[in-house]
């Protein structure tokens, strides 16, 4: 399973979405989770998004695709 939790902050690694950060707000019944945009950036959707858990990387390696979990402050 994943070590992700509700409340974790993830960033979008797509270079077309610089600075886009999202918060995990709900885990679905399948392999998806619901996220909400934290700031008013290009492409943010106030209704939230469903994304697949396997699109979120937690190993800290830089990438140009998917999402990366940010360290908790």
Report the pLDDT value the prediction gives residue 1, as an integer from 0 to 100. Answer: 44
Residue 32 lies in a domain: yes
> What pTM was computed for the model?
0.78
Residue 23: domain span: 9-69
Residue 63 lies in a domain: yes
- What number of residues does the chain have? 73
The pair phi, psi for residue 16, each rounded to 5°, is -80, -10
Q: Which mean pLDDT values do the consecutive 10-residue runs of the chain (73 residues) have? A: 83 91 88 79 64 91 92 74
Residue 41 lies in a domain: yes
Residue 4 lies in a domain: no
Residue 23 lies in a domain: yes
Domains identified in the chain, total number: 1
Residue 1 lies in a domain: no
11 contacts 67 by C-beta, under 8 angstroms? yes
């Amino acid at each position: 399973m994943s070590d992700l939790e509700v409340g974790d902050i993830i960033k979008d690694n797509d270079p077309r979405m610089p600075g886009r950060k999202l918060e995990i707000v709900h885990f679905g019944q399948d392999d998806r989770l619901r996220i909400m945009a934290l700031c008013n950036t290009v492409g943010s959707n106030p209704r939230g998004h469903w994304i697949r858990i396997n699109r979120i990387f937690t190993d800290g390696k830089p990438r140009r695709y998917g999402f990366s979990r940010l360290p908790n402050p």
